[in-house]
Amino acid sequence: MSDFGIQFVESARSLKGIPWRHQGRDVLGLDCIGLCIRAAFLVGVTLPDIKGYPRRQATNLLQQKLSQHLSVVPIAEWKSGDIGLFRETGHPVHVGVLVRSEDGANTVIHAHARRRKVVEEDLDSYGWPQTVYRIEGTI
């Protein structure tokens, strides 16, 4: 894992347990994209914010915004510290920080509305991303 990948994952892990809040961007509450923005900020990287989205999306808005600012990585080549875009209710509307450990356990750290907080869970249980993004020049 690269230095950035280690730092980004640890930064995201440090936010576990923070309550979920739609469009939250601080320790009072985070949503999924807010978690990625906050974790990057904590390691000195500024990601463009995505604002004004509805709580229940049924569009490709998030995918379009991520593709404008991050590099797409082939799913088979993802590394710890990449950002996974997941489908929920049939649409690509959720993101999380991907973690690949040396023992083969693959997890995602994400702010999940139904769980009401930032959690880390096994990818095999949660489901695999449809698209993977990498923050430019970091890994």
pLDDT tens digit string along 46-96?
988 887 776 766 667 788 888 888 999 999 999 999 999 998 878 888 999
Angle at the Cα of 17 from the Cα atoms of 9 and 97, rounded to 5 degrees: 25
Residues 6+ apart with CB under 8 A from 46: 40
**How many Cβ atoms are within 10 Å of 113's Cβ, its own excluded?**
16
| Model confidence at 28: pLDDT above 60 | yes
Residue 98 pLDDT:
97
Instruction: Pull the structure tokens for residue 39.
Output: 């974790």
Distances in whole angstroms, Cα of residue 54 to Cα of each of 4, 98, 109 = 31, 24, 22
Q: What is the DSSP letter of 20?
A: B
Instruction: Pull the structure tokens for residue 120.
Output: 């880390």
pLDDT tens for each residue of 115-134: 999 999 999 999 999 999 99
